[in-house]
Structure formats: C-alpha cells, structure tokens
Amino acid sequence: MPYFVSGPMAAMPRERVIDELVLPLPAGDWTDFGDYSEHVKVWLPKSVADAAAKLAEQFNHSTTIIVRNALVIHVYGRLTFEQLVLHRLLRAPRGYVNDVVNSKQLLVSELELHRAGQLSEMALEDTAAHKHLVAQDGAFASARPIVALRVSVPKRLKDDLSALAQRMDKPLSVYCREVLTSYYLGALRS
C-alpha cells in the first residue's frame, strides 16, 4: 500500500538526487589528483586503525583509501571531497588488502633496530610512536598496539599536509595521527 504525505509535509519539495548538476567541479585544476606517486606513513593507535577498518569494511574500501579520504576532507573540506569523487578526480579503488603493516612484524623490526642502536624510519619520523612501541623492550603487550599505514596520496595532498604540519611545528606523521584520531574517534576521545 503506497504511503501518501498529507498536511504541511505535502508541500515540501521532493529530495533531489545529488548529481553533477548539484555539485559542480571544484574550483581550480585538480587533474594532478590522479597521480598517487607519493606516500604518507603514519603510525596509529589500534583504536583509530580499528575504526578506519570498520568503515573500510562498511564501504567496501581498503583501510588506506578510507584514511586517505579522511586526510582529503581534513585538508580541502567535505564539499571538495564529494566534488572530486563525483567527478572521478579522486579515485576510490576497492579490494586492496595489503595496506596495513603487520603489527607484530613492525614491533619485531623496531625492537631489532632499537637493540642494535640504529634508528628506524619510525624513530626518525615519529619519535613518540617509536618510544611507545619500544617502551618495554621485548614485551608483546596489547597495551601498546600500534598499526603502521603507508597511504598513497597525490603529491599536492602530501605537500599541503606537510605545510599544515609545519605550521603546527609537528612532524608529518604525528600531525596525521592527531588529525585521524580526532576524525575517527572524535575531539573528546583524541
């Protein structure tokens, strides 16, 4: 049986489907967003990585695509993100599975380099994550879970993220971790 609306709601216009007529191309030249030759490495607390993974599963994307999308929204705003996706200037491939570095493997390699007195990429780029990870040498405690992500991004996005990180006087990885923690868990939980 069809449902008919009567009264004041009957005068409301029908909802429009979002399409190219509603959302025009974003201002400027975005053709460089098709090149994903740059990478951002970020070490996330497990709770943040789990939140991103849940959304990735919900939207049938990889975790790195979901994280990249969050960074695009942070830098350029939700409207520009939707415009880029709608006009296929920001690709969103599906089905990638090898985007998260094995956490146990990460811990083992960090501890080996730490014990040898060598500085790993993590130690150089994100000292707080490195110290957290090797705080209790050799203990695989769930109290210290960290997930490493390597996210392919357009050069412009990496450059803009780097500029924002410099403004905050933070390394890129630390800045991205704080942004993603707030984005996925909310400002009160970050």
pLDDT tens by residue, 35-71: 888 889 888 888 999 999 999 888 877 888 899 999 9
Q: What angle do CA 58, 71, 48 make, to 5 degrees?
A: 55
Assess whether pLDDT exceeds 90 at residue 170.
yes
Average pLDDT score over residue span 7-20: 54
For the chain, what are the domain ranges? 38-185
pLDDT of residue 165: 96
Assess whether pLDDT exceeds 90 at residue 164.
yes
Q: pLDDT tens digit string along 64-84? A: 889 999 999 999 999 999 888
pLDDT of residue 141: 43
The lowest-confidence range among 7-11, 29-33, 137-141 is: 137-141
Q: Which residue from 119, 121, 147 is spatially nearest to 133, judged by alpha carbons?
A: 147
Separation between Cα atoms, residue 125 and residue 152, nearest integer Å: 17
